[in-house]
Amino acid sequence: MFELIMKRGLVLLVFLLVIPLVSSNIDDFYCDGVLLGECNEFGNICAPGKNLFDDEEIELSASRNYLFFGKNCEDNRLLIGSDEIELLETSQRFITQFRNSDYYKGNVGTSCEKNYLGELVEKGFNFYHDSFSICDRPIDVSFFDVEINPETVDRGEEFRITMRLESDEPIDDMLLFVSKDEGGNDRINVDGGPAIDKKFYFTVEGALEDIDLEAEICEDISCEVKSKNFILGEDVYVDYIANVFSPDTEVKLIFPDRIIKEFTLPVAISTTQLGTHNLEITVSSKGFKTKTLKKQFGVIEKEPEIELKQICNYNDLCDLGENSRNCPQDCSPKNDNNLYIISALVILLVIAYLILRKK
């Protein structure tokens, strides 16, 4: 059913570690600078065609040529139905090129890891999506079609999800975003997730909660006295209050000379520069939106001198503006009482005069 294709004098075989020599031009074995069988930064493989191992069942057409390669093989056999094809071992891979005569659909057995099986075509090589069969480091972000319940999911809101691929371990701590694609359809965007086409499952664990964050900038370690201004050489005690237990924190202090230092809280910071200091506290925790709080405090050289305006002139007379509180030397409480009594008597005399005049 399958005819093994081998050629002698394959000078590039060891170098390419992938395919028998079909061209004298070495550039033919590259896709935009990526060698045949290798992956680009987006997790796509340079290959003659789609990796048939991505399908649940492998389908091979009649009278077509196919290429296989794999790594870390326990033996040098490729099993297609009841047929067995021998693999050629190189320093990096086990490879074979074969031609099948009849249509086949079913499983392909191999003891190798990171397997590729694809049809050899005349158009050359291109990048194809790999779905983790060969490529290890996809960094692209994918959009996935899902059904969205508008009653529970608001567009633009962030969600925490747990996601897993078929037969893979869960991938935790991803963010789920709801948005619109170019066609106006609702999409789920997984931030930080791999670029994949395989079937996957995810569980929405609920909308991320807000973090209530308050920064404390104090003169003492117990934070009994809070302040925004400090004397040069004093320690500034910085801590935070949040509604989450043991979150991850990042603290940056930008000094007046623009030097940035990072700290862990709580911290005592020695003031060595005059001017405004900018403090950034970032708090994150699973199930919560990351919160960043920005605060400032100033450092001065010494306490400002406050000039007190003299009110009391110490002349033994209770002058205008003086009283027993701000000038007890001139205005005793006794003198204040006498003034009140005299004022009351004058008022009574005026009232009595008016009454007698009417009579």
Q: What is the pLDDT of residues 52-69, one digit of tens each?
A: 887 778 888 888 888 888
State how far the Cα of 164 lies from the Cα of 166, in Å rounded to an integer. 7
State how far the Cα of 242 lies from the Cα of 9, in Å rounded to an integer. 71
Token output for 123: 């158009």
User: Is residue 131 within 8 Å of residue 167, measured between CB atoms?
Assistant: no
| Confidence at residue 58, expressed as pLDDT on a 0 to 100 scale | 87
Give the global pTM.
Answer: 0.37
| Confidence at residue 218, expressed as pLDDT on a 0 to 100 scale | 92
Q: What is the pLDDT of residues 114-131, one digit of tens each?
A: 888 888 877 778 888 776
Closest listed residue to residue 278, CA positions, set 303, 304, 256: 256
Second-level CATH architecture of 213-300 = Sandwich (2.60)
**More confidently predicted of 51 and 181:** 51
Tokens 């991803």 found at: 174
Q: What is the pLDDT of residues 2-37, one digit of tens each?
A: 555 444 333 334 334 444 333 334 456 788 888 888
| Confidence at residue 280, expressed as pLDDT on a 0 to 100 scale | 92
Q: What is the pLDDT of residues 207-257, one digit of tens each?
A: 677 888 888 999 888 888 888 899 988 899 999 888 888 888 888 999 998
**More confidently predicted of 164 and 283:** 283
- Amino acid found at 27: D
Closest listed residue to residue 233, CA positions, set 219, 221, 251, 223: 219
Angle at 166 between CA 164 and CA 171, to 5 degrees: 15
| Confidence at residue 237, expressed as pLDDT on a 0 to 100 scale | 92
φ/ψ of 177, rounded to 5, equals -120, 140
User: Is residue 159 within 8 Å of residue 149, measured between CB atoms?
Assistant: no
| Confidence at residue 255, expressed as pLDDT on a 0 to 100 scale | 92
Closest listed residue to residue 6, CA positions, set 16, 21, 27: 21
- Amino acid found at 60: L
Average pLDDT over residues 338-347: 71
Residue boundaries of the structural domains of the chain = 2-129, 143-207, 213-300, 312-359
